[in-house]
Structure 1
Amino acid sequence: MSTSPTPSEKEKKDKEDRAREVEEQAKLPYKWTQTIQDLDITVAVPGNLRGKDIVVEMKKAYLKVGVKGQDPVIDGPLPHEIHPSESTWTLEPTTTGKEISIHLDKTNKMQWWASVTSNAPYFLDTSKIQPENSKLGDLDGETRGMVEKMMYDQRQKEMGKPTSDEQSKLDMLENFKKQHPEMDFSNAKFG
């Protein structure tokens, strides 16, 4: 019989896993961060390079980044699709040289990525991602409505009450009963 870990054991394991992820990410030849909507990558390159020396190929499900004449730093299938026309790259000066700065616009704005490419050797545990604090007002109308509905339904479930969809069905049934008082629903089973 296995026992589940205590909260302190779980917290210790989470810290160890996070430290391992940070260490693994540090070994990558690029740095990357993400929000639920987009992904940003930076690749350090020598300061004498210009835009024409850089290779960046962004497709719906593929990314290649590097310096012409050298092996690419990133070259592989993306784990999820992007909007190539909304994704950009620039070559920026830094204190130690230059960096290629890449911005990928995610197609699915509700999905965390475990890695930049599917063939990357290191993966993040996306279940442990702590999303940045954002305001519902930052979201577009459709996304905001969907998030508010999800939050409402979650609160309803926690209180043992019907979700918005379940409540809508109950309301329709009650209206039907009122419109048809001649029908007997006493032995009807719902659900």
Structure 2
Amino acid sequence: MADIDRPASPSPEDRKRLDAEAKQKEDEEQSKLPYKWVQTIGDLDLTATIPANIKGRDLDVKLTRNGVKAGIKGQEPIIDGTFPHQIHVDESAWTLESVKDGKELNIHLDKVNKMEWWAHVITSAPKIDTSKITPENSKLGDLDGETRGMVEKMMYDQRQKEMGKPTSEEEQKMEMLKKFQAQHPEMDFSNAKMS
């Protein structure tokens, strides 16, 4: 079978330039949103500036497992849409706080899936590139034992793949094969394949 011509991968300089252009476009799209948002692997927080004369009773904020609608009563909502993933409504909340320039609506969302980055707060908003998120290593200690073990294994496997080395499962299979070969020297393993 003939090799198919594949386009050459971009050079490191081109990759860096393309990443910078993508990041600039992403930043511009995000800056146009009427709110700012940040996330950790487990939750997401968004803030919106509100006029200083607005009180909590003047706001209309509804959180459901699948979406959010928030804004000043009688006006166009600041945010209204469906989440890309579900939240725990009972663990999510909103507050109105006084800040230097007026007031700020803060909405805290507790993610159901604590192993997934969100590309956007609501599905109609522009996406961010979640593959470029670098989690804070110090937060790894905040995870419970089982979750931390899973995250560490995923990080190890990701590093191994990036270096072209076997993942933890592939290493285990190779170790089992070596033990089996040692126990059965009479068998021919020359055509053995790992799958």
TM-score strictly above 0.5: yes
Deviation at 1:167, TM superposition (A): 2.0
Q: Distance in 2 between matches of 1:152 and 1:23?
A: 34
Deviation at 1:57, TM superposition (A): 0.7
Tell me if 1:138 matches 2:133.
Answer: no
* TM score, norm. by length of structure 2: 0.80
Task: Please point out which of 102, 122, 125 is paired with 2:107.
Answer: 102
Q: Distance in 1 between matches of 2:93 and 2:114?
A: 17
C-alpha distance 50-109 of structure 1, shift in aligned 2 (>3 A): same
Q: Distance in 1 between matches of 2:160 and 2:124?
A: 41
Deviation at 1:62, TM superposition (A): 0.8
* TM score, norm. by length of structure 1: 0.82
Aligned-residue CA RMSD in angstroms?
2.9
Q: Which amino acid aligns with 1:125?
A: D
C-alpha distance 161-42 of structure 1, shift in aligned 2 (>3 A): closer
Task: Please point out which of 14, 17, 20 is paired with 1:15.
Answer: 20
Tell me if the contact between 1:149 and 1:164 (Cα under 8 Å) persists in the aligned partners. no
Deviation at 1:150, TM superposition (A): 2.6
Alignment of 1:69-108 (within 5 A): 69-108=74-113
Identity %: 52
Tell me if 1:128 matches 2:126.
Answer: no
Q: Distance in 2 between matches of 1:101 and 1:185?
A: 67
Q: Distance in 2 between matches of 1:82 and 1:162?
A: 32
Give the gaps of 5 or more residues in structure 1: none
Q: Distance in 1 between matches of 2:86 and 2:76?
A: 24
Give a deviation string over 1:34-81, Cα, whole Å, max 9, x none.
111111100111111111111111111111111111121111111111
